Chains A and B, each alone.
Chain A
Amino acid sequence: MRDPVLSIRGLHVRLSRDGQASTVLDGIDLDMAPGEVVALVGESGSGKSTIGLAIQGLLPAESQPDISGSIRLAESEVVGAKPDALRQIRRTLVRGVPQDPMGALNPTMTIGRQMAETGLTSVEVLDWLTRVGLPDPERIARDMPHRLSGGQRQRVLIAMSMAAKPRLLIADEPTTALDVTVQAQILALLTDLAREQETAILFITHDLAVAAELSDRVMVLFGGRVAELGDTRKVVASPAHPYSAGLLSARFDLDTDRNRQLTSLSIDRDRRRPEGAHCNYQARCPLASSTCRLQRPDLKETATGSRAACFHSDRVPELLLSARTAPEWPEPIASDADALELYRIRKSFPAGRSTLFGKKRHTQVLAGVDLRIRLGECVALVGESGSGKSTLLRIAAGLTQADEGDVSWFGGVPPQVVFQDAVAALTPWLTIGEQIRDRLRPLGLNRSEQDKRIAEALNLVGIDPALAEALPSELSGGQCQRVTVARAVVVPPRLLLCDEPISAMDVSLAAQTLNLLGTLRRQLGMGMLFVTHDLAAARLIADRIAVLEKGQLVEIGEPDQIISAPQAPYTKTLVSAVPRLHAQEARL
């Protein structure tokens, strides 16, 4: 290997929150060559973002970071560097592309001026805007950040970062907030620029498929330790750590068997970070033995050529085999009655006036949508942001009035809704039992009958009924999502509307939520509308997929038919944009 751009040795980081220090990174070693793309994969809390921040010397002071080990960037040491030196390093050696591009741009300054402030001439600004694939760079340079779309802003930030010709670019989930179609373009742009400028990229993501699309090597992180490090293709094809295997089998794409439930990792997150002389994955590991509880495994070469921290690497292939035999979906209770019927729904929103006394302008969001969902059937509604899918869900829920058209529900009973942000959908100051109980109140049950129903509902979604006394803040995000599902089904509704329930989740949580929703709607015979921008999830969960584009249903049909032979141009882009695990093999 040539002289590495980045060389991390024995990195330990302890951070405090509310006065309690815990180990976030526990002995990380990593070398990156110039122009190399390394993906850093792990679930929330694995410490992956902390590595990115530590390299940039940006660990938040309020968490009193305690760092040991060494991070060398080119010739400069980051650990223990003075603020001046760190600023110099950030200016010349390393740049970061954040998850939320709006937060990183100055909202009061045009794009052109912001880029000029970093020392670029106006010609260079236009050149860079062109290079990151922005149409009409002159117009973009004159625009304010809020006038651009999320994808355009992310391109601007990439342009600003790459224009500084850094040796290392740290991209922390730069595409999670973007549409799938845009995601694919941004990923391609990053890899192209890395090749061109020999910039190494550390790409932080929770999605192994995204990592597989673009990286040369992948580092799988669990609980602050490296679980596996190796050539991306090898790790994806034959993982040597049970956690990588779990991530892989929980990951679903357009090739996943949709007649079965997804295999999923145990997602019980230990509040305390397991420290000390044992494998920190052992509590969740199906292969765990007594050795794993007493000894910490070191990273060592495995038969597949990657390096994994596991005593039982040789048994990981068994795990992958057993993963293929996930249970099938339960037999659905279906019926021909309509759970939901939408008839010629139209909706427009006022969009300001063209002049002071001019007529109010309206933007049409839904232009005559017809949709029927039978009891026990699931229809997935896909479409990019701005296609009107959220508005349609709100109209179906009775939260928003349609301008024209009819909404009818089975038996006239309004549906229940599972929201995207489950934490926000729970009232912070009421216990979860209290919030579920509120759906039982109109039934006239006595207190102990109510308690029984609450316990049943919590059991159904896989939450310990003892947690009924807990406040939402004491639960993890995944548990909160389960609680909102429990609230929705404690009195089984005829129709369940799901508004992007998995878009903010990492793979293992997403797989579990899909299993839960798919099982419940079959068992309870509910109609379900599942709004998503993830075509792979739509294909797995739904009996039919409806594609919404600019307020109109452009296509509706069986998932496999839609995906194998997409008709509308938009559907075609959607299908090709879904990242596939074995993409690299297909390409090579």
Chain B
Amino acid sequence: MSVMTSGPITSQNTGGWLRRIGWLERVGLLGVLAVTCLAVFGPLIAPFDPMLRVADAYLPPGATHLFGTDEIGRDLFSRVLLGVRYTWLPGLAVIGIALVIGSAVGVFAGMMGGWVDALFQRIVELFLVLPSTLIAISVVAALGPGLLNTMIAITIFWWPWYARMTRDEVRRIRSRPHVEAARIAGVSDMRLMLRYLLPGTVPALLIAATLDVANIILTLSLMSFLGLGLPAPAPELGAMTARSIDSLTTYWWLPILPAIVIFVMSVCANLAGDGIRSALRGA
């Protein structure tokens, strides 16, 4: 069709990407930005020391203590602010590390093809079929509880997803004419891998990764909920919900408010993922 071909032939890079993002998705992107700011600067604006007793126990949410106080009189709002940092930043770190490992393995396997690819595929599948949470729990049990060990455990069962996705994308891009053209032009294998194949996998991986942020937060919270994350006094949102779940009927704000924050972060991350997908559509 020749309706709109007076300008460039493809629609990418034409500056219209912002328009493709719906308003809900923009809210998500802003939310992600806000949560990241909170995670970095939140403890600075916390009204009270999150670790110390600052008032009576079990004060309901009010003007001084926005989220109320907990069983030993610590300010819940300040604890949640710190909790955002302990949940959000490890989540991003896990995704980042899993992306690096996964895409490196995936590009290599997809590029080599043949038995190398087959071998990598089987290894990746081995990781994918294992019950992930159980493995993570055993890894943490073996290494000892703690934030770092939890992150290692989650990364171990997270990277194969990205590896497989990268590999599939590389196989797809590899059969496209521009890669064949680059081969004919005599581009070396290494360059082909890094400059001609890897950038093409970025949109798909970026979308998958942003959608995974929510999953990671929930998994991290689950690990803390099971008592495998940060040890007791540190405020981690999952752990806070877990420890106070018994008081749901009496002091509802203790489990509910941190849970709502987890929920809001997950929704924002999901919407932001959708937003990035819309922005990259057609690219």
Contact = CB atoms under 8 A, between A and B. Distances in A.
A, B: real partners: yes
Given A19-B19, A438-B191, A45 B6 contact: yes
A423 B15 contact: no
B63 interface: no
A417 interface: yes
Interface in A14-28: 15, 17-19, 24
Nearest to B4: A17
28 contacts: A17-B7, A17-B16, A18-B19, A19-B16, A42-B2, A46-B2, A49-B1, A49-B2, A63-B3, A424-B178, A425-B177, A425-B178, A428-B12, A430-B196, A435-B185, A438-B182, A438-B185, A439-B185, A442-B186, A471-B13, A473-B8, A473-B11, A473-B14, A474-B13, A475-B9, A476-B8, A476-B9, A484-B181
B6 to A, nearest CB: 3
B4 A63 contact: yes
Given A424-B178, A435-B182, A438-B185, A49 B8 contact: no
Given A206-B2, A439-B186, 17 more contacts: A15-B4, A17-B11, A18-B11, A18-B16, A19-B19, A45-B5, A50-B3, A63-B4, A271-B7, A414-B184, A423-B9, A427-B182, A428-B10, A438-B182, A441-B191, A473-B13, A480-B9
B176 interface: yes
A415 B181 CA distance: 11
Contacts of B6: 44-45, 269-271, 273
Interface in B167-191: 176-182, 184-188, 191
A477 B187 CA distance: 23
A95 B196 CA distance: 44
Nearest to B195: A430
A270 B7 CA distance: 8
B114 interface: no
A425 B185 CA distance: 11
Interface in B186-215: 186-188, 191, 195-196, 199-200
Interface string A411-446: 000111101010111111110001100110110000
A123 interface: no
A140 B191 CA distance: 50
A28 B7 CA distance: 22
Given A424-B178, A425-B177, A438-B182, A44 B5 contact: yes
Contacts of B15: 18
A287 to B, nearest CB: 23
What 3 pairs across the A-B complex have the smallest Cβ distances?
A18-B16, A45-B6, A425-B181
Contact of B187 (A24, A270, A438): A438
Nearest to B283: A428
Contacts of A45: 2, 4-7
B226 to A, nearest CB: 43
A487 interface: yes
Interface in B1-57: 1-16, 19
A48 interface: yes
A64 to B, nearest CB: 11
Contacts of B182: 427, 435, 438
A417 B180 CA distance: 10
A53 interface: yes
Nearest to A477: B9
A139 to B, nearest CB: 32
Interface residues of A, number: 56
A99 B3 CA distance: 13
Given A419-B181, A473-B9, A438 B186 contact: yes
A397 interface: yes
Contacts of A53: 3
B181 A426 contact: yes
Interface of B: 1-16, 19, 176-182, 184-188, 191, 195-196, 199-200, 283
A423 B7 CA distance: 13
Contacts of B14: 17-18, 473
Contacts of A525: none
A427 B176 CA distance: 10
Interface of A: 15, 17-19, 24, 42-50, 53, 63, 99, 172, 206, 269-271, 273, 397, 399, 414-417, 419, 421, 423-430, 434-435, 438-439, 441-442, 471-477, 480, 484, 487-488
B8 to A, nearest CB: 5
B64 to A, nearest CB: 48
A41 to B, nearest CB: 11
A487 B180 CA distance: 13
Contacts of B178: 424-428
Nearest to A224: B6
A474 B283 CA distance: 13
Contacts of B10: 423, 428, 472-473
B8 A475 contact: yes
A429 B176 contact: no
A424 B179 CA distance: 9
Contacts of B8: 473-476
A42 B199 CA distance: 38
A416 B9 contact: no
A18 B8 CA distance: 12
B113 to A, nearest CB: 15
A416 B12 CA distance: 28
Contacts of A397: 184
A429 B2 contact: no
B1 A99 contact: yes
Nearest to A471: B13
Contacts of A487: 181, 185
A536 to B, nearest CB: 22
Given A273-B6, A438-B191, A417 B16 contact: no
Nearest to A273: B6
Contacts of A50: 3
Contacts of B176: 424
A473 B7 CA distance: 10
A476 B15 CA distance: 17
B13 A416 contact: no
Nearest to B2: A44
A273 B15 CA distance: 18
A438 B176 CA distance: 18
Contacts of A476: 7-9
Most chain B C-beta atoms within 10 Å of own C-beta, residue among A24, A44, A397: A44
Contacts of A416: 184-185
Most chain A C-beta atoms within 10 Å of own C-beta, residue among B1, B13, B188, B196: B1
Given A430-B195, A435-B182, A438-B187, A421 B4 contact: no
A435 to B, nearest CB: 7
A172 B14 CA distance: 27
A54 to B, nearest CB: 10
Given A18-B19, A421-B177, A172 B1 contact: yes
Contacts of A49: 1-3
Contacts of B188: 441
A43 B15 CA distance: 26
Contacts of A46: 2
B3 A15 contact: yes
Given A269-B6, A273-B6, A476-B8, A417 B13 contact: no
Nearest to A60: B3
B139 to A, nearest CB: 37
B200 A429 contact: yes
A456 B4 CA distance: 32
Contacts of A424: 176-178
Contacts of A414: 184
A43 B2 CA distance: 8
Contacts of A434: 195
A53 B1 CA distance: 10
A138 B114 CA distance: 46
Most chain A C-beta atoms within 10 Å of own C-beta, residue among B11, B178, B283: B178
